[in-house]
Amino acid sequence: MITVSIDTHSETEDFFRVIGAPKYRYYVQPTEVKSMLSAYFRKISLLPVYVIFSTYHDFEDIEVLLKKLRQPYDIQRLADTCTVMIDGKTVRYHVPLFRMQVDCINALQEIIVQTFWLAESNCSYIISFSNNVRVTTQITKSMRNKHVETSILQIDMNVPATTMCMAHDADGFYLFSNEETYSSVEKVYNHFAD
């Protein structure tokens, strides 16, 4: 089961910002996002695909996976900081952001299967057919009214692109596109329906 609707609330998301005006904006909500995405990418077999996701301080298992797949990647530390307790000690760290260009469908499948839990736990998770995602830093006020640096993922839609951003709890995703193949709700539905 899948529902597709015109996007009316992506502007309220706080971890990404769309730059430019994509021709088409949708919210796609399948019953199971991870399996639907895996099937979709297998079906279209269009590469390369750019995968960007944030994670936690202990990301060695992700690096092991990517090395096993021989998948090149970059890690960028965001301005945002997290504080956690580990073995009774306070650990403060800058949020890591993985970025990669995936050129192999089998590697893409495995990356989605093994890392999608990050999207489900509200880490940033973006998949794009263009290298159109950048990180900017801004000064905002915290809940304690202090000035803090935060990072925002900017999705540049001034270029030909189709980009998917996972929503809260990965219950669905926003689809931004300038491509005619996504020019209607029906076309989007047909792309993702089994």
What does the block give as tokens for 60?
A: 């060695």
Mean pLDDT taken over the chain: 92
* Amino acid sitting at position 42: R
Terminal Cα-to-Cα distance of the chain (whole angstroms): 9
Question: Which pLDDT score, from 0 to 100, does residue 194 have?
Answer: 67
Q: pLDDT tens digits for 6-34?
A: 999 888 887 899 999 999 999 999 999 99
Neighbours of 57 (CB within 10 A): 14
Q: pLDDT tens digits for 69-94?
A: 999 999 999 988 888 888 888 888 88
The percent of residues in the chain predicted with pLDDT above 90, rounded, is 71
In sequence order, which residues have a C-beta less than 8 Å from that of residue 165 and are 6 or more positions away?
10, 13, 16, 124, 125, 126, 155, 173, 174, 176
Residue 82 and residue 95 in contact, taking contact as beta carbons nearer than 8 Å: yes
Q: How big is the chain by its Cα radius of gyration, in Å?
A: 17
Q: pLDDT tens digits for 107-148?
A: 999 999 999 999 999 999 999 999 999 999 888 777 788 888
Question: Which pLDDT score, from 0 to 100, does residue 101 have?
Answer: 98
Under DSSP, the state recorded for 26 is: E
Rounded to an integer, what distance in angstroms lies between the CA atom of residue 19 and that of residue 157? 6
